[in-house]
Amino acid sequence: MENVAGIIDHTLLKADATEAEIRRLADEARRYGFYSVCVNPYYIKTAKAFLKGSPVKVTTVVGFPLGMDLTEAKVHEAMGAALAGADELDIVINIGAAKDGLWDVVEKDLYDVIAATGGLVHKAIIETCYLTDHEKREAAEAALRAGAEFIKTSTGYGPGGATVEDVKLIKSIVGDSAGIKAAGGIKTIKQVREMIEAGATRIGTSSGAAIIKSPL
């Protein structure tokens, strides 16, 4: 369970999240040894303060959850997040451009954000539920070219989340050149195990505490 906890991004991204809930998120991350907390940009500084003296990282999101922001807005958001103390950025790709097959646009959008925030870890959210297998391959390859260190399956706000099949597909593309974050709908230790066996190296979930406390 310690090994599992160490790859979980303990997540709270709901629109009505309160400071008290962020404190509880941080407390659970300390207690169980989660890799990071994943919060909306507004709560970066709050999470950093609650986690002071802890090895737990702070992850935030960029262009969330639709990915259809102007690139300039994403860059501004990402730079603000870096200044606020974020350690990792989960960046939603331009899904409309992906559906149109404009992979140069998808790549440049990501590249500009990544180039503006060197020193942070970047996870490209490709939102697999909207993409064909061919588009998933193209999106993963564009993210790699842009410099993303991780490919993330989902925002958790689309009509579907992570699947074992998608994690396997992404793994077949990226190999060991990038990590894979499975996220969206992961609520049990069984699902976590399946995702890890398929190739996931990070798990995003809002059910981290329940997963760690569940029977083996």
**What are the residue numbers of the active site?**
90, 152, 181
Structure tokens at 40: 């909306």
Q: Which two tokens stand for residue 79?
A: 């730079």
Least Cα distance to 154 among 64, 82, 68 occurs for 64
User: Which residue shows structure tokens 């706000």?
Assistant: 157
**Is there a contact between 73 and 106 (Cβ–Cβ < 8 Å)?**
no
The whole-angstrom separation of Cα 137 and Cα 180 is 13
Helix axes 133-146, 103-116, angle to 10 degrees: 40
Q: Are 212 and 183 in contact (CB under 8 A)?
A: no
Q: Are 111 and 146 in contact (CB under 8 A)?
A: yes
Confirm if 122 and 149 have CB atoms less than 8 A apart: yes
